[in-house]
Amino acid sequence: MADSIQDSMIDERFWLGLSKSMVTSAITRREEAASRLVTGVGWFWTVYSAVVVTALAVSGKQEIVVAVALILPVAALVVAYLAGLMTLQPIDQSFLVNSPTQIQRLYDEAVARKRKLLRRARIWTVISGAMVIIAIMTAALSKGPQS
């Protein structure tokens, strides 16, 4: 019983254990976040495709502004998707197994690289989402076929 009470106390051992799990899961957490971004970009693709198909079906000849607004998200969606996939790729490194300082340095570099890649993927996901919203609004506000 004393062990279970000791294990449930919030003391130095608790915080050291928490910091250990934070360090060991740093790359995994970033990869999971990137996976969610890739899924989100896939959802944007679905919505975007439906908007474009609907806009083209209900309207006749498109004005150049409307056509550009409908086509522009393609590039941002592709870049956002690729940025998410790049974050999911493993980082190849070689090291001496008997050098803890080298292993730590390489791990820190890998975490920093994943952080940078994830930040880039987030930015492109936001940009592509905004462009999809603009495409939706443009399609909704564009004039239908002229009589």
User: Is position 76 within any domain?
Assistant: yes
The tally of domains found in the chain comes to: 1
Structural domain harbouring 130 = 30-141
User: Is position 14 within any domain?
Assistant: no
User: Is position 8 within any domain?
Assistant: no
Total-model pTM: 0.77
Per residue in 71-106, pLDDT tens? 889 999 999 999 999 999 988 888 777 888 888 898
Q: Is 113 exposed, middle or buried (0-12, 13-18, 19+ CB in 10 A)?
A: middle
Distance between CA atoms of 107 and 105, rounded to whole angstroms?
5
User: Is position 13 within any domain?
Assistant: no
User: Is position 2 within any domain?
Assistant: no
User: Is position 25 within any domain?
Assistant: no
User: Is position 54 within any domain?
Assistant: yes
User: Is position 23 within any domain?
Assistant: no
Per residue in 38-81, pLDDT tens? 999 999 999 999 888 887 777 666 678 777 888 889 999 999 99
